Amino acid sequence: MAYLSEYEYYANGGAAPTDSNWGEYQYVGLEDVVRNYKLMYTGNTSLVNNVENFKILFHAKRAIQELNYDAFKEIKTMELEVADSLRFVLPLDYVNYVRISLVRGGILYPLQQNTQLLSATSYLQEDNGQLNLDVANGGILTEETSELELAGGVKLFQSGTGSDAIYSNKHPQFTIDKARGVINFTSGMSGETCLVEYISDGMEGGDDSLITVNKMFEEYLYAYITYSILDSKLGVQEYVVRRALKKKTALLRNARIRISDIHPGRLLQQIRAMGNTIK
């Protein structure tokens, strides 16, 4: 991997933008991962040999995706104004949300997810009630937005459960329609600014040159690639595959510990905030 001088790191060698290398040392690029693996872990004297680059690339990307699903705590943020449709399209690389907030007067107001808000697909119908069919494509014609979505969803009535108290909130609420890839809001969000903090899949919209991974997980990536190749290869003895799996699992556990947020100073502050006496 390339190393930078302090001048290159802090000022990009005098070129614009001067901040393009800030934080660079925390990460290794996908292209470097594939290149390093090919040089260091394949060959006639290695367990892995005669493997094509596209296979290494595939398994490296799968490893990074799984890390983003399961281990990373890095969060992306997206800010948009909610239109009258009360619909917010989920980001391309969205995996799960961390927090969804209303932004007003420079203050974030975290919104509550209401799982009782229902939405539906609205089918086009003839005057006699029959569904309008898309003869050319063999499907059914639907409205772009249903009446329920235009109304911000409807709430399921549950008599005697106290659900109204559970979901009472002076701020708007939201529900996520994963199948359609949207967030639906209640009517109070129309024209408001929304901030979505979410976990990304790390694939950067399909641009391999932009995909990176924290250096703490670099060895894990190599172990993941090795295990995946050996596990799918004919003629590899079972104990070899088990050993590769054990190494991959151990490296993931160690990397998680290294990047965990358990910091002595933060832990001390949290305990003091709970009112406990530290001796």
d(CA 186, CA 126): 30
How many whole angstroms separate alpha carbon 116 and alpha carbon 93? 26
For residues 2 and 258, the model is more confident at 258
* pTM score: 0.69
Residue 167 pLDDT: 46
Of 197, 203, 231, 177, give the one whose Cα is nearest residue 48: 231
Model confidence over 9-44: pLDDT tens digits? 888 888 888 888 887 778 899 999 999 999 999 988
Residue 3 pLDDT greater than 90, yes or no = no
Q: pLDDT tens-digit profile of 54-100?
A: 999 999 999 999 888 877 767 899 999 999 988 889 999 998 999 99
Please choose, from the candidates 108, 124, 268, 257, the residue with its C-alpha nearest in 3D space to the C-alpha of residue 197.
108
pLDDT at 108: 92
Say if strands 173-177 and 112-113 run parallel, antiparallel, or are unpaired: parallel
| 92-145 pLDDT per residue, tens | 999 899 999 999 998 999 999 987 655 566 676 777 777 777 767 767 766 665
Give the list of residues 6+ apart from residue 42 with CB closer than 8 angstroms, or none. Answer: 48, 49, 51
In the numeric block, the tokens 């995946």 are attached to 228
Tokens encoding 266: 């933060």
Least confident of 84-98, 172-186, 195-209, 262-276: 262-276
